[in-house]
Amino acid sequence: MGESEMANVQSCIQACEEAMRACQVCAAADIREGQNNCALINLDCADICAATLNVLSRGSPHHGDFCALCAHICRACAAECAKHAAMHQHCADCQAACERCAAECDKHARERHI
């Protein structure tokens, strides 16, 4: 993948990484607080964000499929975190990171190659 092609996906890679980390932080706090539903979606979201940033980084021709699923799971995670965002900063941070990741992934969701 050339430099211009990598620049095209760099903001998506960064958004995936930020959402993955926010989800991990949120999941850990949720487990400590007994918020099982939020923790479970956070763990799912962290996994798909990690997988998506990996396929984007290596220029996989299947990155669009990963981006579509990542956007979907990030929206579900953001919606769950929104329920607790007023009470927990980790949920507010996760909600924001997942919304940004979903928006970035939407830009690449239909692509079949880079």
Kindly report the pTM of this predicted structure: 0.92
Q: Does residue 102 surpass a pLDDT of 90?
A: yes
Per residue in 27-83, pLDDT tens?
Answer: 999 999 999 999 999 999 999 999 999 999 998 999 999 999 999 999 999 999 999
What is the residue-wise DSSP string for 24-93? HHHHHHHHHHT-HHHHHHHHHHHHHHHHHHHHHHTT-TTHHHHHHHHHHHHHHHHHHHHTTTTT-HHHHH
